[in-house]
Amino acid sequence: MKKLKITGKELRAIGLPEGPVISVAMKVMEKHYKHHSKEEAFIILKALMETPADYLNDEVLGLIAKNLMPKEPVDGAEISLNQNGIQFSVFGQEHIEEGAMHQMYQAAKLPIAVAGALMPDAHSGYGLPIGGVLATDNAVIPYGVGVDIGCRMCLSVFDINPKELTDKESYFAREINEATLFGSGAQFDQASNHEVMENQLFYELPLLKNLHTRAWKQLGSSGSGNHFVEFGVVEIKEKDAVLGIEPGNYVGLLSHSGSRALGANIANHYTKIAISNRRLPADAKNLAWLTLDEEAGMEYWLAMNLAGDYASACHHIIHAKIAKQLGRKPLKMVENHHNFAWKEKWEGRDVIVHRKGATPAGENVLGIIPGSMTADGFIVKGKGEMAAVNSASHGAGRKMSRTRAIASVTEKQFREELQKFGIKLLGGGLDESPFAYKNIEEVMQSQKALVDVVGRFTPKIVKMDGAKHRNWKDKKKADALGE
């Protein structure tokens, strides 16, 4: 079998930056993936480029990831963390791993920290834990927002009898398949048009200018990992004044994805600047911040908001395509995002609230909290709970890593679980199986003080990334291709 050979020119063409990482990537891929095709090798590298922090502990791919991560500055005094951090509330502590708690304690000791909270779906991340909420004084933490900036949920409710999802299953499955693309690095041959691509920042900031073409080709795509588009049954038991839907059962179209390569590049670029500007202890370096008074901080803020608008546009394009094919306008659209920072008031002062994998839940603010590919999701209305910094969970939260899920769940168990709940799965794999997630009912019970449930969503036809790597026995390959 012909061994893998790749060139520096080819690596630059897929987006690897100039520098030592080019030669490192060539050596690693040709040595450890020598029996892979170039296409397979490039899929692995593209996934790694989007979220290099996810691969730092991989004994092979970590060599490449380290060369893509921000470098610690050599000069300059280290900023000390406060000895005693701010107090923060924890919801559903019995469901939260120790690693996430430690990360939140670190964040609470930042000199810019004002208020915080940890949601019941929390688990370890980079910078803030997933499910972490942190209010800061005039400062934004790029890794407190996360790599997939503006990742969001979007639900369209259609006045269609849910029985049609069974009677015309192939029709609804086809419409999902034709409306979007899944897979890390996936791009359309013909880009959609949307006003977000005309934003002046794409022409004013060099970083965004270089990302404009790729972002346009990914507009309306859905990525990989836990991102999905699905049809299901929306159940409304009582009419809620804010939601405004009559009691009954409806067809729902629910999507979950973010800002694709655009958000990842923004996050990594400004994290490098933040780390070079503010030297923190090694285990807290990913919490480095930018103030909104400095040029880089203002740039990041504008770029972050653009990435959020871009993520929203991706959802609206998908929903518009499907609504057109259904020949129906939705009765209601509910949309909310996480992995973002907001300017808000806290006890009378202006603060920046980071919600990394947490749903905004101010008073009467609507949102969607999904379960898994077999578990119900919930349409919720925020209660404005100050102890949670007006936040709630963004989902059930993982209880297994992707590697562990692939290693511990068999294909037979997976398929039996889907059959048990009557789920038609288009793509998806063991790393996203229902067994990998916490019990959404328990998570919701832990945040009854944060949100009211005003509707339920039961998945029926689920589309996720269907790449072959999902069922590879080599766990490292599966993680490398995940998101």
Tokens encoding 233: 């049954």
| Residues 50 and 154 reside in one and the same domain | no
Q: Beta strands 130-136 and 113-123: pairing type?
A: antiparallel
CA 190 from centroid of its chain's CA atoms:
25
- Together in a domain, 56 and 158: no
Strand partners, 133: 117, 355
Same domain, 50 and 149: no
Q: Is residue 32 part of a domain?
A: yes
344 forms bridges with which residues in the sheet? 351
Give, for 236, the enclosing helix (H) or strand (E): strand 228-236
Kindly write down the DSSP assignment for every residue of 343-391, as one continuous string. EEEETTEEEEEEEETEEE--TT-EEEE---SSS-EEEEEE---GGGTSE
Claim to verify: residue 44 and residue 162 sit in the same structural domain: no
Give the SS3 label for residue 262: helix
Residues 437 and 321 in one domain: yes
- 324-377 pLDDT, tens digit each: 999 999 999 999 999 999 999 999 999 999 999 999 999 999 999 999 999 999
* Same domain? 62 vs 150: no
Measured in whole angstroms, how far is the alpha carbon of residue 108 from the centre of its chain?
Answer: 23
CB atoms within 10 A of CB 411: 11
Contact 233, 165 (CB under 8 A): yes
Cβ-Cβ contacts under 8 Å for 48 (sequence gap 6 or more): 54, 55, 61, 64, 65, 68, 480
Say if 273 falls within a structural domain.
no
Say yes or no: 238 and 384 in one domain: yes
**Mean pLDDT throughout 445-455?**
98
Same domain, 62 and 151: no
Separation of alpha carbons 102 and 438, rounded Å: 20
For range 232-241, the mean pLDDT: 97
46 with 168, same domain? no
Tell me which range, 33-47, 167-181, 395-409, 457-471, is most confidently predicted by mean pLDDT. Answer: 167-181
Which of 42, 68, 94 marks a domain boundary? 68
Q: Which residues pair with 356 in a beta bridge?
A: 132
- The string of pLDDT tens digits covering residues 10-43 is 888 888 887 788 888 888 989 899 888 888 888 8
**77-82 contacts, C-beta under 8 A, 24 or more apart:** 77/279, 78/279, 78/280, 78/281, 79/111, 79/278, 79/279, 79/280, 80/111, 80/281, 81/106, 81/109, 81/110, 81/111, 81/280, 81/281, 81/284, 82/109, 82/110, 82/111, 82/113
Does residue 130 sit within a domain? no
Domain carrying residue 25? 8-68
Please answer whether residues 197 and 216 qualify as being in contact, where contact means their C-beta atoms are separated by less than 8 angstroms: yes
Q: Is the pLDDT of residue 66 over 90?
A: no
473: CATH: 3.90.1860.10
Token pair of 285, please?
């370096």
The pLDDT tens digits for 353-363 are 999 999 999 99
Q: Say if residue 153 is in the same domain as residue 242.
A: yes
∠ at Cα 305 (301, 309), nearest 5°? 170
Residues 149 and 59 grouped into a single domain: no
**Averaged pLDDT of the chain:** 91
Q: Is 482's pLDDT higher than 70?
A: no
Is 453 within a domain? yes
Q: First CA to last CA across the chain, in angstroms?
A: 30
Do residue 460 and residue 365 come from a single domain?
A: yes
Q: Which residues does 369 contact at the CB level (< 8 Å), separation at least 6?
A: 153, 359, 377, 378, 380, 392, 393, 394, 395, 440, 443, 444, 451
Residue 170 counted as domain residue: yes
Residue 426 forms beta bridges with which residues? 463
- Side chain identity at residue 392, one-letter code: A
Q: Could you give the 3-state DSSP secondary structure of residue 235?
A: strand
For residue 49, being part of any structural domain is answered with yes
Percent of the chain surpassing pLDDT 70: 95
Domain boundary among 51, 68, 85: 68
pLDDT band of residue 72 (cuts 50, 70, 90) is low
Q: Which of 68, 85, 104 is where one domain is finished?
A: 68
Cα–Cα distance measured from residue 230 to residue 158, given in angstroms and rounded to the nearest whole number: 13
Is residue 126 in a domain? no
Residue 47 belongs to some domain of the structure: yes
How many distinct structural domains can be found in the chain?
2
Beta bridge partners of 416: none
